[in-house]
């Protein structure tokens, strides 16, 4: 029996259906802004007003979001309050990463994993890696990626980190076997299946508890390669930044809660304005992998058409997420964002350390919101405007800021899952294709 009505049966949902979309607010953020530690959300260019926001907040209350339980992923960065198994694993990670970064024996670490076992560590290493160790990543079943990761490497000075919760992920195990045939001698496994890892011949096994879902796992032992890339101290800062957002998400009032507002604005755009795509544009080269990371986080978590009660859903859930780093993408797909026939809401992510990048992000957001309707322009030169966006502004881009950024989106996804009555922690849609591939291969033998 349902404890709460489904979202589309809530009184606030019916009121929102009757609301007319409003034009973005001109000028500064005004009241349409909120702050969390080290970050400001400016949503003045969204197509909302006070009445819409009041109803969205009412919908959140009707769906029980005011009394929600803490998300399980927050336990991974709870510090002294984390489960003992997490604290023990973190201590061992620090020892391993510290030794590797000082060791004359190992000069390259290669992370073998796919999905959440690859995207999170790869993003952190790419954004913050300090060059103390060579870090490479191989996720693809196509052997070319591993071949490139091993170019110029010496088997004697290369360590492999094999990350697979089940330790039966075909792509990861295929790359691990290739690495061994190449001459790899040292393997650390991160898994919830230590027996399979031991059978493979891993030199050391770090536990990955079953309750940790891959796309939320970068904070755990699955982030070992990331810690090797940035160092234990920076990784602690990364966790601390996320922990600050956990506290904000748990304690800030709904109307001032940044991930709550991000979640509700997304629901407004998706379910009431009919926008089924969402672009994320980081104006920082260090964040170039953020859109790929968020594709999995959002689309695998909430890309569902059956709710947690087993009922078919008749409303939209996760949007199609895409994006690229800011200024290059302006010369790629922004044409569609400004003048295309479909409206795509945008998150602009700025890090506050480059006036030129910040000005470009602001200009794009203003152009999307307010357009150009000059009567002297020919029709093809006019921009219609009324295209919603938010700006997330961070105080620089260090480890703490990156932790805050990723945690904000984790909480946003979690909250949208609760609002849409989804289980955001399963991914059964991924399994069918895997099984069919195995069937096709078996029949081809």
Whether 434 is catalytic = yes
Cα–Cα distance between 225 and 121 in angstroms, integer? 6
- DSSP code string of 50-73: HHHHHHHHHHHHHTTGGGPPPPGG
How far does Cα 432 stand from its chain's mean position? 24
| Residue of 67, 84, 314, 331 with catalytic role | 331
Whether 278 is catalytic = no
Among 319, 326, 304, smallest CA distance to 391 is for: 326
Edge-first strand order for the sheet with 134-138 is: 134-138, 108-112, 158-163, 186-191, 204-207
- Kindly report the number of other CB atoms within 10 A of residue 64's CB atom: 13
Among 45, 47, 57, 44, smallest CA distance to 15 is for: 57
Collapsing DSSP to helix, strand or coil, 32 comes out as: coil
Collapsing DSSP to helix, strand or coil, 23 comes out as: coil
Q: Scanning the structure block, which residue is given the tokens 């391993």?
A: 96
Cα–Cα distance between 333 and 318 in angstroms, integer? 21
Question: Tokens for 387?
Answer: 């295209």
Cα–Cα distance between 426 and 420 in angstroms, integer? 15
Per the CB < 8 A criterion, the answer to whether 238 and 220 are in contact is no
Among 219, 108, 113, 104, smallest CA distance to 170 is for: 113
| Residue of 62, 134, 300, 410 with catalytic role | 300
- Kindly report the number of other CB atoms within 10 A of residue 312's CB atom: 7
Q: Kind and range of the H or E element at 261?
A: helix 258-267
Per the CB < 8 A criterion, the answer to whether 24 and 56 are in contact is no
DSSP 268: I
Cα–Cα distance between 395 and 402 in angstroms, integer? 10
How far does Cα 302 stand from its chain's mean position? 12
DSSP 132: S
Whether 199 is catalytic = no
Q: Kind and range of the H or E element at 394?
A: strand 389-394
How far does Cα 1 stand from its chain's mean position? 32
Active site residues: 300, 331, 434
């Amino acid at each position: 029996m349902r404890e709460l009505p489904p979202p589309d049966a809530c009184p606030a949902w019916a009121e929102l259906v009757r609301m007319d979309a409003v034009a973005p607010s001109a000028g500064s953020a005004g009241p349409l802004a909120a702050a969390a530690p080290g970050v400001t959300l400016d949503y003045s260019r969204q197509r909302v007003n006070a009445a819409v926001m009041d109803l969205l907040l009412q919908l959140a209350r009707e769906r029980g979001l005011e009394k929600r339980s803490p998300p399980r992923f927050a336990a991974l960065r709870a510090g002294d309050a984390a489960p003992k198994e997490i604290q023990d694993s973190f201590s061992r990670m620090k020892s391993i990463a510290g030794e590797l970064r000082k060791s004359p024996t190992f000069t390259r670490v290669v992370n073998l994993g796919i999905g959440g076992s690859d995207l999170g560590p790869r993003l952190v290493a790419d954004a913050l890696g300090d060059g103390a160790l060579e870090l490479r990543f191989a996720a693809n079943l196509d052997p070319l990626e591993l071949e490139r990761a091993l170019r110029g490497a010496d088997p004697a000075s290369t360590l492999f980190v094999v990350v697979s919760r089940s330790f039966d992920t075909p792509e990861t195990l295929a790359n691990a076997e290739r690495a061994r045939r190449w001459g790899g001698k040292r393997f650390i496994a991160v898994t919830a299946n230590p027996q399979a890892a031991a059978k493979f011949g891993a030199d050391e096994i770090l536990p990955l508890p079953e309750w940790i879902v891959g796309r939320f796992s970068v904070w755990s032992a699955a982030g070992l390669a990331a810690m090797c890339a940035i160092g234990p101290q920076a990784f602690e800062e990364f966790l601390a930044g996320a922990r600050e957002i956990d506290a904000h998400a748990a304690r800030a009032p709904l109307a001032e809660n940044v991930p709550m507002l991000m979640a509700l604005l997304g629901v407004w755009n998706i379910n009431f304005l009919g926008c089924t795509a969402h672009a994320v544009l980081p104006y920082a080269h260090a964040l170039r992998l953020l859109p790929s990371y968020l594709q999995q986080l959002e689309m695998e978590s909430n890309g569902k058409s059956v709710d947690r009660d087993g009922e078919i859903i008749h409303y939209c859930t996760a949007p199609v997420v895409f994006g690229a780093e800011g200024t290059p993408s302006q010369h790629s797909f922004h044409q569609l964002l400004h003048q295309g026939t479909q409206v795509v809401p945008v998150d602009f992510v700025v890090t506050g350390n480059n006036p030129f990048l910040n000005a470009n992000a602001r200009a794009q957001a203003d152009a999307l919101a307010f357009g150009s309707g000059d009567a002297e322009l020919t029709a093809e030169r006019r921009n219609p405007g009324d295209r919603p966006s938010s700006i997330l502004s961070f105080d620089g881009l260090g480890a703490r800021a990156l932790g805050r950024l990723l945690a904000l989106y984790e909480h946003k996804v979690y909250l949208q899952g609760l609002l849409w009555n989804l289980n955001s922690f399963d991914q059964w849609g991924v399994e069918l294709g895997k099984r069919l591939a195995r069937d096709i291969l078996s029949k081809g033998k």
